[in-house]
Amino acid sequence: MASGLAHELNQPLSAISTYCQAGLRIVDTFDDKPEKLVHALEHASIQSQRAGEIIRRMRRFTGKGAVRRKPVNINQVIKNVLGFIETELNRKQIKLELELAEELPAAIADEIQIEQVILNLLHNAIEAMFSTSDNMRLLRVSSRRSAADTLQVTVKDSGPGMDAATLDRIFDTFFTTRKNGMGLGLAISRSIVEAHGGKLWAESTAGSGATFHFTVSTTAT
């Protein structure tokens, strides 16, 4: 449904943006420009682009069609995702500690979706650490077997962490504390994990980093 909705909304949103731009061009030909109208058109255009960006992000998460679950090597997925962001970690001087348990059974999951969840957690961790001037930026990623049929992935950062009130809301749709944030990443990640029969949660205290955990089953749910 999300994917269909995103598809349907994309076109009218582009049209709004195009009409605003056209309006701005017309106003631009006036000798005496009505500033309030220019301001309104500019902001309508910015907001429609913002809505478009929200939808594009949503589609990136959900747009891969039907969920395809198969046995997945979770450690390999973690390594793949770390491969995507390796240069970013180096550039931002983030030290990576990897603690992957050996000989884990395969998870039964949609690999692309789990990849998106891990990537989102890593991006959040990087952003959080980059927001502080602290030189010691440490990212720890681990995997382990947390129950007979459950694997647990943990992403821990040395960023500023969160106070209890923030921690309470981070999984709410559109909750963000970031200037250019959308507040969708964690909400969507949690729904992906829960659709797989797992759990996604966070632990943090202000000033001492944040830790996110999610579980995924090794049996079909």
* Phi, psi angles (nearest 5°) of residue 180: -105, 20
Binding mask 107-146 for ligand ADP (x = CB under 6 A): -----------------xx--x------------------
Residues contacting ligand ADP: total by CB under 6 A: 21
List Cα–Cα distances, 213 to 28, 54, 203, in angstroms.
53, 25, 8
Query: Candidates 7-15, 45-53, 138-146, 172-180 — which segment interacts with ligand ADP by CB under 6 A?
Result: 172-180
Query: Candidates 73-81, 87-95, 134-142, 153-161 — which segment interacts with ligand ADP by CB under 6 A?
Result: 153-161
* 190 belongs to the binding site for ligand ADP (CB under 6 A): no
Candidates 186, 192, 193, 216: give the one binding ligand ADP (CB under 6 A). 186
Candidates 27, 183, 191, 197: give the one binding ligand ADP (CB under 6 A). 183
Neighbours of 83 (CB within 10 A): 9
* 159 belongs to the binding site for ligand ADP (CB under 6 A): yes
* 152 belongs to the binding site for ligand ADP (CB under 6 A): no
CA separation for the pair 173, 102 (Å, rounded): 36
Beta strand residue intervals within 4-110, DSSP E: 70-72, 95-100, 107-109
Residue number with CB closer to ligand ADP (185 or 198): 185
Q: Tokens 């966070």 — which residue?
A: 202
Contacts of 127 (CB under 8 A, 6+ apart): 178
* Phi, psi angles (nearest 5°) of residue 198: -105, -170
Neighbours of 75 (CB within 10 A): 18
Q: Which residues of 171-209 are buried (b: 16+ CB within 10 A; e: fewer)?
A: beeebeeeeeebbbbbbbbbbbbeebbbebebebeeeeb
* 192 belongs to the binding site for ligand ADP (CB under 6 A): no
Query: Candidates 42-50, 82-90, 101-109, 184-192 — which segment interacts with ligand ADP by CB under 6 A?
Result: 184-192
* 58 belongs to the binding site for ligand ADP (CB under 6 A): no
Least CB distance to ligand ADP at residue 58 (A): 12
Chain residues in the site for ligand ADP (CB under 6 A) = 124-125, 128, 157, 159, 161-162, 166, 170, 175-178, 181-187, 210
